[in-house]
């Protein structure tokens, strides 16, 4: 224990700031006092501060440090504001890296994962985060994942979870299915491998039935960043339009042996009279039916399916198609329209079929031109940009306008025409208004070992039988070691052999596990119901939820955050939680960047170099970068700043940083260098600067205390009551301004760099204040206390010790935030800026209570100001109270 409770102890302190001793002592004090255990029933408004929990990959990286520092600053700050704060931590512990590590080392994923957790927990502790560790959880614990299984079964009962065989994204490297959200530019989000299409039976969560509310509720989340809401809205992809049915023509009826209608979805029902053909996707049932016995068509369909899965390629590829030889009838005119298979129609969106209006859709236009299909102009240009649609394509063709050549709808504006046409279609039973979403259901089956088992038993007699609640959890065996040849669960009879719960006969347990995004969809609820072994969540969740502040990386803007919102909505529907939205406020912290140095060999192989091994010189004139290796002076290529990553060898290890400079320096650097939402550029000099500031802070307190000991609270009060003046009063004003500024910056604006800057200013001012009178010492005592208090959420260790050094017996972590003293903020004179025609020409000092006329007179009397009148008379004088005077001449 690093105790500085008495003056003698203080003098035993080294004059030099010893971060290791300070941090060890402070952390011990917090642990002894159980300072950060959150009380589920404490007085005061609750504050749930949550950081996205880490995957236990082995070591923390700088992104973690930044994330958890932001959360810790807010948690500690809110605690000082009198809020009842919960800040928990856990482990997103299922997932593929554990299996890969297992294969590489021959160690079961469970062992690898638990060892990583133990190590990383030590790292988190050494960074001094104010976490309630009693609530720690790991998603690989059966106590946790049994509730995944339990809710899965409830969702199955309600039809929200269901089984379906469908085309899925298959990652050939990880040998598993990926959700739509996990495919990025046609590649697996983790492996980067080109994704293949496969037909596999799997379980889905019906997230699409919540698409409308998930979309609409985004507007109820003002505490979320605009870009995240935009990304989610984009992803959900709500379009308002009309579903139109085209009855089969004679040839199609004959071919299919029945009546039928081809459904399409359109957002441009106003152009319906301009439809000259209908196009369907290659996988569309009508196309498949027509392809039977039509080798050319079958070959084309096959070609479309095998085509590139790169969506960016798809968007630019040439439009191609074939008539399927069948026709449908226009729902309003009865005209026969040919049906085409077209490579630009997506089976996965809408009905997998479109009505083609070449005159008013660029894709249809290109297609029609190529295959000689008619182009019918049905919307007149409002701006007169065109008379009749003809090649080449103009963007104006796709604009809204007034209908022409559209029978009874001619003359209507586009918006009105959509309504009128929808009504006409509805009257014929051939269409209706509808909302279409881009979002698709969430496939959760993974052919992997290290995940939560799906609680289903397959019985030859009874089919797929849910595991009864009394048999939960379905435990994952923890001693298996995957060998890369598929899911080891499927080769472990002790796991998959079981009895059917219905008929008692021999049955086989489902060996697929759940997508790990299921695990992270509700951990925040479990933190708030910690330790309950009889229920998934309890009333405590309703106390703590919604999370007041959620903090994590922007990379989770869609996947995790959308799934968690969906899952919470389901639990809300089941009456398990009161809130439909889990996260009231979201802060997406920026990436941590560092320099990238690389050299490409003759053979085209890239070799990366750690920035610590490179000297970088930027020419001040040309701005050209010259980078050379420290060891031999050879040149390397500077690639600028980029995200810290293993592959680019530009990571900085948090351990090295904390060992050398301490956790407080690491925390201060991260919070000071950039606002939380922006990317943070690593700088070794910046780290040194942060450390320098802490040493100055330490020395300021040391010097103050050495020169006569700390001033007691009573003595400070007495001096203030006796009245202070001059430099003392100035310093006191700065101190109290700082108090207000820091509270506003952290509490309202969520920016920390400016809060730190203002404390730096305070310390600079205190350094200039060298008087030694009793009043001066009292003011300095107060100023130092304020500096220490204001910094304490950011650098909790050093401030913990300095607070004691300043003579406080009660620990800083239990202290209430001080409010700025209005009397201290008062000023006798203030500086008013004087402008002439908006340009700064002078300054005048005046009493803040001076009436406007007096301020005006003082400004006009200023000699420098008068110079710029150049003989002209002021036409107008604008006075901004307490700030400036602008004279217009």
Residue 278 phi, psi (nearest 5): -125, 140
User: CA torsion 323→328→334→337, rounded to 10°?
Assistant: -10
User: CA torsion 464→465→466→470, rounded to 10°?
Assistant: -160
Report if residue 231 touches RNA, rule: CB under 7 A: yes
Report if residue 554 touches RNA, rule: CB under 7 A: yes
Q: Which stretch binds RNA (CB under 7 A): 443-451, 576-584, 600-608, 675-683?
A: 675-683
Report if residue 345 touches RNA, rule: CB under 7 A: yes
The pairing of beta strand 635-643 with beta strand 592-600: antiparallel
Long-range contacts of 177-181 (CB under 8 A, 24+ apart): 177/202, 177/443, 177/445, 177/446, 177/447, 179/442, 179/443, 179/444, 179/515, 179/517, 179/559, 180/440, 180/443, 181/235, 181/442, 181/558, 181/559, 181/562
Please say which residue, 732 or 841, places its beta carbon nearer to RNA: 841
Please say which residue, 715 or 857, places its beta carbon nearer to RNA: 857
Residue 176 phi, psi (nearest 5): -150, 165
Report if residue 627 touches RNA, rule: CB under 7 A: no
The CB-of-597 to RNA minimum distance in angstroms stands at 17
DSSP, collapsed to helix, strand or coil, labels residue 449 as: coil
Beta bridge partners of 162: 204
Please say which residue, 146 or 704, places its beta carbon nearer to RNA: 704
Asked if residue 358 has a cis previous peptide bond (ω within 30° of 0), the answer is no
Q: Exactly one of 237, 399, 553, 709 binds RNA (CB under 7 A); which one?
A: 237
Please say which residue, 33 or 312, places its beta carbon nearer to RNA: 312
Three-state SS sequence of 130-162? CCCHHHCEECCCHHHHHHHHHHHHHHHHHCCEE
Report if residue 573 touches RNA, rule: CB under 7 A: no
* 275-294 positions binding RNA, by CB under 7 A: 281
Q: Exactly one of 41, 315, 427, 603 binds RNA (CB under 7 A); which one?
A: 315
Report if residue 239 touches RNA, rule: CB under 7 A: yes
Distance CA 193, CA 160 (A): 31
* 47-66 positions binding RNA, by CB under 7 A: none
The CB-of-748 to RNA minimum distance in angstroms stands at 7
The CB-of-239 to RNA minimum distance in angstroms stands at 4
DSSP string, 447-463: --SSSPBP-EEEETTTE
Please say which residue, 289 or 833, places its beta carbon nearer to RNA: 833
The CB-of-232 to RNA minimum distance in angstroms stands at 9
Report if residue 620 touches RNA, rule: CB under 7 A: yes
Q: Exactly one of 838, 863, 870, 871 binds RNA (CB under 7 A); which one?
A: 838
Q: Say if residues 147 and 514 touch (Cβ distance below 8 Å).
A: no
For RNA, how many residues bind (rule: CB under 7 A)? 91
Considering only CA atoms, which of 508, 511, 502 is closest in space to residue 476?
A: 511
Please say which residue, 366 or 478, places its beta carbon nearer to RNA: 366
Q: Exactly one of 135, 154, 319, 560 binds RNA (CB under 7 A); which one?
A: 319
Angle at 460 between CA 454 and CA 464, to 5 degrees: 30
The CB-of-22 to RNA minimum distance in angstroms stands at 17
Q: Exactly one of 558, 625, 718, 825 binds RNA (CB under 7 A); which one?
A: 558
Please say which residue, 686 or 811, places its beta carbon nearer to RNA: 686
* 358-397 positions binding RNA, by CB under 7 A: 361, 363
Q: CA of 527: how far to CAs of 44, 71, 453, 544, 582, in Å?
A: 19, 16, 22, 9, 13
Distance CA 147, CA 141 (A): 11
Report if residue 95 touches RNA, rule: CB under 7 A: no
DSSP, collapsed to helix, strand or coil, labels residue 838 as: coil
Report if residue 881 touches RNA, rule: CB under 7 A: no
Report if residue 143 touches RNA, rule: CB under 7 A: no
Please say which residue, 144 or 682, places its beta carbon nearer to RNA: 682
Q: Exactly one of 3, 267, 847, 849 binds RNA (CB under 7 A); which one?
A: 267
210: enclosing H helix or E strand:
none
Distance CA 284, CA 339 (A): 11
Angle at 428 between CA 423 and CA 433, to 5 degrees: 40
Residues with Cβ < 8 Å from 739, sequence gap 6 or more?
A: 786, 789, 790, 818, 819, 820
Q: Which stretch binds RNA (CB under 7 A): 138-146, 458-466, 774-782, 829-837?
A: 829-837
Q: Exactly one of 346, 629, 727, 857 binds RNA (CB under 7 A); which one?
A: 346
Q: Exactly one of 3, 167, 220, 234 binds RNA (CB under 7 A); which one?
A: 234
Please say which residue, 29 or 351, places its beta carbon nearer to RNA: 351
Angle between helix 654-661 and 684-706 (nearest 10): 30
Which x/- pattern, by CB under 7 A, does the window 185-204 give for RNA?
x-------------------
* 590-619 positions binding RNA, by CB under 7 A: 618
Q: Exactly one of 377, 835, 858, 862 binds RNA (CB under 7 A); which one?
A: 835
Please say which residue, 210 or 235, places its beta carbon nearer to RNA: 235
Tally of CA atoms within 13 A in the half-sphere of 833 that contains its CB: 8
Report if residue 355 touches RNA, rule: CB under 7 A: yes
Distance CA 182, CA 171 (A): 10
* 146-185 positions binding RNA, by CB under 7 A: 184-185
Q: Exactly one of 681, 730, 815, 821 binds RNA (CB under 7 A); which one?
A: 681
Please say which residue, 41 or 315, places its beta carbon nearer to RNA: 315
Q: Say if residues 432 and 400 touch (Cβ distance below 8 Å).
A: no
The CB-of-91 to RNA minimum distance in angstroms stands at 26
Q: Exactly one of 57, 410, 542, 683 binds RNA (CB under 7 A); which one?
A: 683
- Please state the separation of Cα 568 from the chain's center in Å: 17
Q: Say if residues 653 and 646 touch (Cβ distance below 8 Å).
A: no
Which x/- pattern, by CB under 7 A, does the window 502-541 give for RNA?
----------------------------------------
How crowded is residue 410: how many other Cβ atoms within 10 Å of its Cβ? 14
Q: Exactly one of 254, 435, 461, 878 binds RNA (CB under 7 A); which one?
A: 878
Q: Say if residues 431 and 242 touch (Cβ distance below 8 Å).
A: yes
Considering only CA atoms, which of 37, 66, 47 is closest in space to residue 551?
A: 66
Q: Which two tokens stand for residue 513?
A: 């596990």
Distance CA 673, CA 851 (A): 43
Report if residue 588 touches RNA, rule: CB under 7 A: no
The CB-of-439 to RNA minimum distance in angstroms stands at 9
Q: Exactly one of 469, 708, 864, 872 binds RNA (CB under 7 A); which one?
A: 864
DSSP, collapsed to helix, strand or coil, labels residue 815 as: coil
The CB-of-878 to RNA minimum distance in angstroms stands at 4
Distance CA 735, CA 743 (A): 13
Which x/- pattern, by CB under 7 A, does the window 417-436 give for RNA?
-------------------x
Q: Say if residues 738 and 833 touch (Cβ distance below 8 Å).
A: no
Q: Which stretch binds RNA (CB under 7 A): 135-143, 543-551, 646-654, 831-839?
A: 831-839
Report if residue 845 touches RNA, rule: CB under 7 A: no
Q: Exactly one of 111, 255, 434, 438 binds RNA (CB under 7 A); which one?
A: 438
DSSP, collapsed to helix, strand or coil, labels residue 301 as: helix
The CB-of-278 to RNA minimum distance in angstroms stands at 11
Please say which residue, 34 or 872, places its beta carbon nearer to RNA: 872
Angle at 575 between CA 571 and CA 576, to 5 degrees: 55
Q: Which stretch binds RNA (CB under 7 A): 26-34, 39-47, 237-245, 424-432?
A: 237-245
Report if residue 493 touches RNA, rule: CB under 7 A: no
**Residues shown for the chain:** 889
* 739-768 positions binding RNA, by CB under 7 A: 741, 744-745, 749, 751, 753-754, 756-757, 760-761, 764, 767-768
């Amino acid at each position: 224990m690093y105790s500085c409770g008495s003056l003698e102890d203080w003098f035993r302190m080294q004059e030099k700031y010893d971060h290791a001793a300070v941090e060890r002592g402070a952390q011990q004090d917090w642990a002894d006092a159980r300072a950060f255990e959150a009380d589920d029933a404490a007085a005061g408004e609750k504050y749930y501060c949550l950081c996205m929990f880490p995957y236990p990959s082995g070591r923390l990286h700088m992104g973690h440090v930044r994330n958890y520092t932001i959360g810790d600053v807010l948690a500690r700050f809110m605690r000082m504001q009198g809020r009842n704060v919960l800040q928990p931590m856990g482990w997103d512990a299922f997932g593929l890296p554990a299996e890969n590590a297992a294969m590489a080392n021959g160690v079961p994923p469970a062992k690898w994962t638990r060892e990583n957790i133990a190590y990383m927990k030590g790292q988190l502790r050494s960074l001094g985060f104010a976490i309630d560790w009693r609530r720690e959880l790991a998603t690989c614990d059966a106590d946790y994942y049994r509730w995944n299984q339990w809710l899965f079964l409830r969702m199955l009962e309600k039809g929200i979870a269901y089984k379906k065989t469908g085309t899925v994204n298959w990652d050939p490297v990880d040998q598993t299915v990926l959700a739509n959200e996990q495919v990025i530019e046609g590649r697996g989000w983790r492996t980067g491998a080109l994704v293949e299409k496969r037909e596999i039976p799997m379980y889905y969560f019906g997230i699409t039935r919540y698409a409308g509310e998930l979309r609409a509720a985004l507007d109820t989340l003002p505490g979320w960043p605009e870009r995240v809401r935009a990304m989610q809205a984009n992803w959900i992809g709500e379009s308002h339009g009309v579903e139109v049915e085209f009855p089969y023509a004679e040839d199609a009826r004959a071919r299919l042996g029945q009546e039928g209608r081809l459904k399409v979805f359109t957002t441009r029902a106003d152009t319906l009279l301009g439809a000259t053909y209908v196009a369907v996707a290659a996988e569309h049932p009508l196309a498949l039916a027509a392809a039977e016995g039509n080798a050319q068509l079958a070959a084309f369909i096959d070609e479309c399916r095998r085509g590139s899965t790169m969506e960016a390629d798809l968007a630019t590829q040439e439009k191609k198609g074939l008539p399927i030889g069948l026709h449908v009838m226009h729902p309003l005119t009865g005209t026969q329209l040919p049906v085409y298979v077209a490579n630009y129609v997506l089976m996965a969106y809408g009905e997998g079929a479109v009505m083609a209006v070449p005159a008013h859709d660029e894709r249809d236009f290109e297609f029609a031109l190529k295959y000689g299909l008619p182009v019918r102009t049905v919307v007149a240009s409002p701006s007169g940009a065109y008379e009749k649609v003809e090649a080449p394509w103009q963007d104006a063709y796709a604009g809204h306008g007034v209908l022409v050549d559209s029978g009874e709808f001619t003359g209507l504006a586009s918006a009105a025409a959509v309504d009128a046409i929808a009504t006409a279609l509805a009257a014929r039973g051939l269409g209706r208004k509808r909302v279409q979403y881009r979002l698709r259901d969430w496939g959760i089956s993974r052919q992997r070992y290290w995940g939560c088992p799906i609680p289903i038993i397959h019985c030859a007699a009874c089919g797929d039988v849910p595991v009864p609640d009394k048999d939960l959890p379905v435990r994952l065996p923890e001693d298996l070691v995957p060998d890369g040849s598929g899911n080891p669960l499927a080769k472990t009879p002790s796991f998959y052999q079981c009895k059917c719960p219905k008929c008692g006969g021999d049955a086989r347990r489902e060996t697929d596990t759940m997508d790990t995004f299921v695990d992270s969809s509700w951990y925040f609820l479990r933190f708030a119901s910690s330790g309950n072994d009889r229920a998934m969540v309890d009333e405590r969740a309703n106390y703590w939820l919604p999370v007041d502040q959620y903090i994590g990386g922007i990379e989770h803007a869609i996947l995790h955050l959308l799934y968690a919102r969906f899952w919470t909505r389901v639990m809300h529907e089941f009456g398990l939680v009161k809130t439909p939205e889990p996260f009231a406020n979201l802060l997406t912290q920026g990436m941590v960047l560092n320099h990238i140095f690389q050299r490409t060999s003759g053979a085209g192989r890239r070799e990366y170099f750690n920035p610590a091994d490179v000297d970088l010189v930027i020419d001040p004139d040309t701005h050209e970068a010259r980078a050379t290796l420290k060891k031999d002076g050879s040149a390397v290529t500077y690639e600028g700043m980029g995200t810290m990553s293993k592959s680019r060898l530009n990571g900085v290890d948090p351990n090295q940083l904390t060992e050398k400079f301490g956790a407080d320096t690491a925390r201060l650097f991260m919070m000071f260098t950039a606002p939380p939402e922006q990317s943070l550029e690593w700088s070794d000099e910046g780290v040194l600067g942060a450390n320098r500031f802490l040493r100055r802070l330490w020395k300021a307190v040391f010097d103050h205390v050495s020169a006569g000991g700390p001033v007691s609270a009573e003595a400070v009060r007495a001096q203030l009551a006796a009245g202070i003046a001059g430099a003392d009063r100035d310093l006191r004003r700065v101190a109290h301004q700082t108090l207000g500024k820091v509270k506003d910056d952290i509490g309202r604006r969520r920016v920390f760099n400016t809060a730190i800057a203002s404390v730096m200013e305070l310390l600079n001012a205190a350094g200039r204040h060298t008087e030694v009178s009793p009043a001066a010492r009292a003011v300095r005592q107060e100023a130092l206390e304020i500096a220490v208090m204001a910094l304490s959420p950011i650098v909790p260790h050093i401030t913990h010790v300095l607070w004691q050094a300043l003579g406080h017996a009660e620990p800083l972590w239990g202290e209430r935030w001080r409010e700025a003293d209005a009397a201290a903020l008062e000023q006798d004179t203030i500086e008013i800026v004087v402008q002439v025609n908006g340009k700064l020409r002078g300054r005048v000092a005046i009493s803040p209570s001076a009436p406007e006329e007096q301020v005006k007179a003082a400004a006009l009397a200023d000699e420098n100001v008068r110079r710029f009148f150049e003989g002209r008379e002021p036409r107008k004088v604008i006075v901004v109270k307490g700030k400036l005077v602008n004279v217009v001449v």
